[in-house]
Amino acid sequence: MRIRFGFDTRATPAQVLEAFTDVGDRRLEIWSKTLDPAKYEVREAGDGWAVIREGSAGVPFWVLLRYEWPARDRITWTLLDSDHCDRGTGDIRIAPRDGGGSRVEVTMRHGGGRGLRGRAVLLVQGLVAPVALRRVWRAALDRLAG
């Protein structure tokens, strides 16, 4: 399954990059509407990458992702493990907007749902994610921009 969406934010490209690549406690603050502190764990981190276990509040699912930020305008992730999905990747592209702020383009690829539960999660995610993540991520980044 492939999910694509984009949105504009008041946050600068540097702020967007920082929001997605800060793996400290501030990450939980920035993404407080989407990350569950009980599921959040930084497993490893280095220059330009991190392996993080995370999940959303209010749902029982979790993922273990390897994030990489090879350039100032791009963040990628690879699914290493999950309780509902066998494979997945993601890509965020950040571009400055005329007049300030940023344009953020997101592509996610998920597949191989584990059992009926996993297939159901992926089906719902395919329907809900483009709308819900666009709205929640834009709001978090706009708050960050002040």
The domain segmentation of the chain, as residue ranges, is 2-145
Spatial separation of the C-alpha atoms in residues 88 and 73, rounded to whole Å: 21
Spatial separation of the C-alpha atoms in residues 69 and 94, rounded to whole Å: 11
Q: How confident is the model at residue 68 (pLDDT cuts 50, 70, 90)?
A: very high
Lowest model confidence (mean pLDDT) among 3-7, 57-61, 74-78, 113-117: 113-117
Bridge partners, residue 106, by sequence? 5, 92
For domain 2-145, the CATH architecture is 2-Layer Sandwich (3.30)
Spatial separation of the C-alpha atoms in residues 95 and 101, rounded to whole Å: 9
Q: How confident is the model at residue 127 (pLDDT cuts 50, 70, 90)?
A: confident
Residue whose entry in the numeric block shows the structure tokens 């934010």:
9
Pairing of strands 102-113, 2-9: antiparallel
Spatial separation of the C-alpha atoms in residues 54 and 102, rounded to whole Å: 25
Query: Is the pTM here over 0.85, yes or no?
Result: yes
